[in-house]
């Protein structure tokens, strides 16, 4: 091999060790920490793996919860041929080649092929479709791993032929166990390196990891590497961990399911008049980098949908928060959004506006478009007047209490009520007005 530096002598160097997270990857099901609800002895998934009877499955869960590890354990224990794909690196040609090989292997040797697809949600529809005939024929057993909701990211036909197993994020206690194991293990971990990590520091790492074992082990390795040796021993305390963290990266994908989970949590917390939960979910989204104007738009919608006329000021506050964020930007705009979210959470609630529009829209769609009654039409020309446009119209300001006994709906919808004020907040006053006006109209009908 030619060198860019001809005078330099090649040196033999020892390969750098793999990262701690990779070295500590569990090799058997018994080494796995967490997911007992799926992998404890006697559970169906555990039995299928132990007995080498696994059928096509989708492993869905956050990063660092054991999806790839589980696939590797299957690879080590199965008698079937095991092929791993990366959705980032593999194309349709590689998929077809493997599928053809799997078909030949089953027909000639009766041997199964297990195909593991990491990040299956990154495969497009055509790529996913290439697996379907072989799954249906029994040539392959598919193991797909994804951080995204399979309902949205995996083809329905492929999903219907697979069992979905949901892996949860690891608890802080489980991550502490993983870290302690890494500190004790002299072969793959840090057990031979004279390291001392304070319990509070381990807990800080576990909390920062947010359920991700890989993040926790990477942070432990970084903290130990940065620690100075005292008396031949590297000591890691909370301050050392905080220096390594600098800033916590929150689990969030602005185009993925977590985005919708969090905005749903914000909406439902405000709807349930819980200001503490509302500001928490708002902060979670903003601190993870969510577009503040997206949140502002959702607050404006909430103001009409869930507060409505129970507090008409709610819409004004929400729109003002949107303008404030647009005007001053972030991070200063976070308090404007927090103010609006707290106002909406503590406002009286009514979905009467939302229901009124929904029922009116339903009638507008399901029936033949009703003509506007003649008495509600303007008559700017003589022909229109001759056709009775505007005839019978009663000018409300000429009537007592500024209310005319006149229907404004098409005859086919006469008497229909779309808006039913809830009676909470300002809608209590609106309800009082509507009831009073209805009494006036009824009284006039009986006297005419």
Beta-sheet pairing, 57-60 with 163-166: parallel
d(C-alpha 122, C-alpha 150), whole Å = 11
Q: How far apart are CA 164 and CA 38, in angstroms?
A: 11
Residues of the domain holding 442: 371-447
130 and 60 inside one domain: yes
Instruction: Write down which residue in 166, 189, 221 finishes a domain.
Output: 166
Which CATH number is 284's domain given?
Answer: 1.20.272.10
Average pLDDT over residues 33-50: 92
pLDDT for 277 equals 93
Does a structural domain hold residue 10?
no
127 and 40 assigned to the same domain: yes
The tokens for 50 are 């132990």
| Averaged pLDDT, 196-210 | 90
Q: Is residue 364 part of a domain?
A: no
Q: What is the pLDDT of residue 256?
A: 61
Q: How far apart are the first and last CA of the chain?
A: 107
Strands 81-86 and 229-230: unpaired
Q: What is the pLDDT averaged over residues 25-44?
A: 92
- Would residue 80 count as lying in a domain? yes
pLDDT tier at 4 (50, 70, 90 boundaries)? very low
Which of 192, 218, 245 is the last residue in one of the domains? 245
Together in a domain, 206 and 109:
no
What span, in angstroms and rounded, lies between the C-alpha atoms of 96 and 265?
Answer: 42
Shared domain for 150 and 41, answered yes or no, is: yes
- When pLDDT is averaged across residues 421-446 and rounded to a whole number, the result is 86
The pLDDT tens digits for 112-154 are: 788 888 888 888 887 788 888 878 877 788 899 998 888 888 8
Check residue 385 and give its pLDDT: 84
Lowest average pLDDT, out of 7-16, 37-46, 257-266, 276-285, goes to 7-16
- What's the pTM value of the predicted model, to 2 decimals? 0.60
Question: From residue 5, how far is each of 2, 10, 13, 325 by CA, in Å?
Answer: 9, 10, 17, 55
Residues 42 and 133 in one domain: yes
Q: pLDDT value at position 122?
A: 83
- Give the model's pLDDT for residue 3: 40
188 & 299 share domain: no
When mean pLDDT is compared over 49-63, 312-326, 350-364, the highest value belongs to 312-326
pLDDT at 340: 96
Look at residue 55 and tell me if it is in a domain.
yes
Domain boundary among 166, 193, 226: 166
Could you tell me if 74 and 151 lie in one domain?
Answer: yes
Same domain, 295 and 396: no
Residue 90 pLDDT greater than 70, yes or no: no
Mean pLDDT value of segment 93-101? 71
> Is the same domain home to 272 and 218?
no
Dist. CA 374–CA 12, nearest whole Å? 96
| Number of folded domains that form the chain | 4
**Which position has the higher pLDDT, 358 or 105?**
358
Residue 1 confidence (pLDDT): 39
Q: Is 64 a member of any domain?
A: yes
Report whether pLDDT(179) > 90: yes
Tell whether 162 and 178 lie within a shared domain: no
Across all residues in the chain, what is the average pLDDT?
85
| 164 membership: H or E segment, kind and range | strand 163-166
Q: Is the pLDDT of residue 5 over 70?
A: no
pLDDT at 8: 43
Compute the half-sphere exposure of residue 117: CA atoms within 13 Å on the CB side of its CA: 31
Q: Which band of pLDDT confidence, cut at 50, 70 and 90, is reported for residue 7?
A: very low
Question: Which residue(s) pair with 113 in the sheet?
Answer: 81, 140
Residues near 398 by Cβ (< 8 Å), separated by ≥ 6? none
Whether residue 182 sits in one domain with residue 125: no
CATH code of the domain covering residue 195: 1.10.8.60
Q: Residue 156 pLDDT more than 60?
A: yes
Residue 352 lies in a domain: no
Average pLDDT for residues 416-431, to the nearest whole number?
Answer: 89
**Whether residue 267 is found in the same domain as residue 331:** yes
Which carries the bigger pLDDT value, residue 307 or residue 417? 307
Query: Is 431 part of a structural domain of the chain?
Result: yes
Q: Is residue 22 part of a domain?
A: no
Say whether pLDDT at 326 is over 80. Answer: yes
Percent with pLDDT over 90 in the chain = 36
What is the mean pLDDT of the segment spanning 436-446?
81
Q: 438: Cβ–Cβ under 8 A, 6 or more apart, which residues?
A: none
């Amino acid at each position: 091999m030619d060198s860019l530096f001809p005078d330099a002598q090649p040196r033999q160097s020892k390969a750098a060790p793999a990262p701690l997270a990779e070295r500590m990857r569990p090799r058997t099901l018994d080494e796995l920490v967490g997911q007992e609800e799926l992998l404890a002895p006697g559970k169906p998934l555990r039995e299928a793996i132990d007995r080498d009877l696994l059928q096509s499955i989708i492993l869905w869960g956050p990063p660092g919860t054991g999806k790839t590890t589980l696939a590797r354990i299957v690879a080590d224990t199965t008698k079937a041929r095991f092929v791993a794909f990366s959705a980032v690196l593999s194309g349709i040609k590689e998929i077809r080649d493997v599928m053809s090989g799997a078909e030949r292997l089953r027909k000639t040797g009766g041997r199964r092929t297990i195909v593991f697809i990491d990040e299956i949600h990154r495969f497009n529809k055509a790529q996913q479709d290439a697996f379907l005939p072989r799954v249906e024929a029994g040539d392959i057993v598919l193991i797909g791993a994804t951080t995204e909701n399979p309902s949205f990211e995996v083809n329905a036909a492929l999903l219907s032929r697979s069992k979905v197993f949901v892996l949860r994020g690891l608890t802080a206690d489980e991550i502490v166990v993983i870290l302690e194991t890494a500190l004790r293990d002299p072969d793959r971990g840090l057990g031979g390196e004279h390291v001392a990590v304070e319990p509070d520091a381990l807990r800080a790492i576990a909390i920062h990891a947010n359920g991700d074992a890989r993040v926790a082990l990477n942070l432990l390795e970084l903290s130990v590497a940065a620690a100075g040796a005292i008396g031949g021993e590297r000591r890691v305390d909370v301050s050392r961990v905080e220096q390594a963290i600098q800033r916590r990266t929150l689990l969030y994908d602005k185009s993925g399911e977590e985005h919708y989970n969090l905005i749903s949590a914000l909406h439902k917390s405000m709807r349930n008049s819980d200001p503490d939960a509302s500001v928490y979910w708002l902060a979670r989204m903003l601190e993870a980098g969510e577009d503040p104007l997206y949140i502002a738009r959702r607050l404006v919608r909430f103001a009409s949908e869930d507060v409505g006329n129970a507090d008409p000021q709610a819409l004004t506050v929400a729109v003002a928060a949107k303008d404030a964020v647009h005007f001053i930007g972030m991070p200063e705009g976070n308090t404007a959004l927090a103010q609006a979210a707290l106002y909406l959470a503590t406002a009286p609630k009514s979905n009467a506006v939302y229901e009124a529009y929904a029922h009116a829209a339903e009638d507008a769609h399901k029936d033949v478009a009703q003509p506007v009654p003649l008495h509600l039409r303007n008559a700017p020309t003589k022909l229109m007047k001759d056709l009775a446009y505007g005839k019978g119209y009663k000018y409300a300001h000429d009537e007592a209490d500024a209310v005319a006994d006149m229907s404004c709906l098409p005859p086919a919808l006469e008497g229909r009520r779309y808006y039913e004020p809830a009676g909470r907040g300002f809608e209590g006053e609106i309800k009082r007005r509507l009831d009073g006006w209805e009494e006036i109209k009824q009284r006039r009908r009986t006297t005419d």
